[in-house]
Structure formats: C-alpha cells, structure tokens
Structure 1
Amino acid sequence: MGHGGDVVAELTADHREVDELFHQFEVAPPGSEARGRLVAALTIELVRHSVAEEQYLYPAVRKHLEGGHSLADKELADHARVEHLLKDLQHREPTDKDFDRLMVKLRTEVTAHVDDEENNLFPQMRSNVHAAVLEDLGDKIRQAKKTAPTRPHPAAPTTPPANKTLAPGLGLVDRVRDYLSGRGQ
C-alpha cells in the first residue's frame, strides 16, 4: 500500500501491484473462489489508488501543468469508468456468465489509464514540478491510501475539498465492512 519515494514512484509501484493481481486473476481457474478473492483485492487497490490520485495528484496536475485542467478531467473520466465496472463486479460471482466479460473490460480500461499516466502524465510531472513537491505529494498519497475507501462509490465527489472530507468516513465504513465480512483478508 505504501512504497516510498515521490508521487511518480509511489503510483508506478501501485500500477505494478495491479498488473500482478490481473496476472494472478488470469491464471486462476475460471469460476473459482480465487478469482473472487482477486477481484476483491483488485477493487481495494484500485479504489484506494484512485481516491489518493483524486485528492492530491490531479489537483497538482491542474496547478502545475499546462493544460492541466483538461488532463485532470480526462483522468477523472477514466476513474469513473473503472469505478462503475468495479461496482458492477461487486454484485457478481465468479461463476456468473458476464463476470469474465466485465473483467476484460476492467483490465482494458485500467491498462489504458496506466499507459496514459506512465507515458504522458508522469513524464510531464517530472519535467514541470519541483522534486520537493513530488516528494511531498508521494507522502500525501501514501497517507490518503491509509484512510481511503476500499469499495467503489461512484456517486462520491472526486474533487477537493468534498472528496478529502468524505473519503475518510467512507473508508472507515468500508474497512469495518471488510473486517466483518473477511473481505480482503
């Protein structure tokens, strides 16, 4: 959940964790309980990651990058598509006929988003934002992931200040639900 380093290193490490979870999903037997557990793990990681980006990365993109508002809006639209897919998956069992189809769509969306961030957004951040700011953002991202929700909340606000106010409360409720249900254990 926390890897260390600046914001780009932190988020890139998260991307590799998600890649590994998708790989584990692919090699798990279709319809298996393992696939259900992996979708829960993917959901937890993707939601925490997205919430942290929405709280800290995208406001920094708006502030520091030329065309930052449109870049951040595009990234938020990517998040919305992923979050809706996660919400759909939350109500499916690995044996449901559309489960694998939804997972293919999720992987396609996430892969495109990751490629865009790593090949476009992150290099712009490295080129245009002071290293001390990137380090500070990395710390803030790590802290945000600790209290972020673990379940999709597509109707929740995605921009500050509302997201910074509501996310910790939603995160607490989600973690209690996870603890009681054994999800993500």
Structure 2
Amino acid sequence: MGHGGNVVDELVTDHREVEELFSKIEELPAGHQDRKVYADQVTMELVRHSVAEEAYLYPAVREHVPNGDALADQEIEDHDRAERTMKDMERRQADDAEFDRLIGMLMSEIREHIADEEQNLFPQLRANCSEEKLDELGDKVRKAKKMAPTRPHPAAPDRPPANKLLAPGAGMVDRLRDALSGRGKHG
C-alpha cells in the first residue's frame, strides 16, 4: 500500500486491494491453507489502513465535514469491531470451522464499511476540503501506513495523539514478528 494521489484515491485503492484478497479467499475451498495466508495479508493491510485513517482521515472529517464527529465515531466503531474479529481470527488455522465463520464475518463487516466510506464519507470530505488539503492528507496517510502495526491491537488507542505516538513502536515490533515468522507469505 502506498499509491500516490489524494487521500480519497489512496484509500479507495486500498479498498480494491482488500477486495481482491477477499476474492482469493472466496475462490479457495474451506480448510485450504492459503485461505489463512490471504487472511493474514488482509489483516496486515486492514490494520495499516485503519491506523492511518484514525490518525489523519477521521480528525480531518471531524474538522471539515458537517456532523463530522458522529461520522468519525461511527467509522472508529466499525474499525474496533473489525479489529476484534481479526484478533480472534489470528489464533485460528484455516481448517478450523471458527476461522471460516470469522473470515465471513470480517468480509461482511469490511464490505459494509467500504461501501459507507465510498458512498457517504468520501464524497462529503471532497465537498468540504480543498484539493491541497486532500493531497496533504494523502501524503500523511501513506507515511502512517509505512510505520503502522500489521497485527490487530484492539486495546490500543484509536484517537490522536496517543495513537500517533504508539503506532510506530507497535508497527516495528509487528513487522519484526512478521519477518521472523513468514506471516502473510506463501510457504
């Protein structure tokens, strides 16, 4: 992740990449080990994406969009629910029936969240922010994703400034764990 362009274009591209991974999971039969590999990749992408949105997108929504506090609070609530699902899924193997239930639940939650952002939040943000502000937010989101954690941390703060202070450290630890374990890579 890290595509260039304004914040909306950046995040929509992330959404398409997640949907592509969901499709790969759906194409495989239940119990197939690659379902877990793709689920780990989805988790890594979603956590980075969520951390960046919470650090920069939602504060901008609060500041620039009418009724922005309520919109941002709802999006953060969606993230919290998805993060708990990903945390539960992290402990499961692909041949576990609970894994199938959790990945199905996650796909449903994320697809609904994406639709809401793209049909409601993003158009409002575009209408209320200058192109310069949207470009600046895109740069900040890209930088945040590079430093963000890759594993779910449901107990971590999801609002500035604490999230901006803690995410880089958790991200470094997560990336080290991923490298050592080979998480998210085909064996």
| TMscore range, shorter length | over 0.9
Matches within 5 A, 1:31-110: 31-110=31-110
Match of 2:4 in 1: 4
Match of 2:14 in 1: 14
* CA–CA separation in structure 2 for the residues paired with 1:52 and 1:32: 31
* CA–CA separation in structure 1 for the residues paired with 2:29 and 2:71: 38
Segments ≥4 residues shifted beyond 4 Å: none
- AA paired with 1:115? A
- AA paired with 1:98? E
SS in 1 for 2:157: coil
8 Å contact from structure 2 (residues 89, 99) kept in 1: yes
Residue 97 of structure 1: CA displacement?
1.4
8 Å contact from structure 2 (residues 82, 110) kept in 1: yes
Residue 184 of structure 1: CA displacement?
2.3
Match of 1:139 in 2: 139
SS in 1 for 2:97: coil
SS in 2 for 1:98: helix
* 1:83-117 deviation digits (Å, cap 9, x = unpaired): 00000000101111111111111011001100000
Match of 1:24 in 2: 24
Match of 1:175 in 2: 175
Match of 1:125 in 2: 125
* CA–CA separation in structure 2 for the residues paired with 1:96 and 1:33: 11
User: Percent identity of the aligned residues?
Assistant: 59
* CA–CA separation in structure 1 for the residues paired with 2:137 and 2:154: 24
* 1:124-146 deviation digits (Å, cap 9, x = unpaired): 01111111000000000000000
Residue 29 of structure 1: CA displacement?
2.4
What is the TM-score of this pair, normalised by structure 1? Answer: 0.99
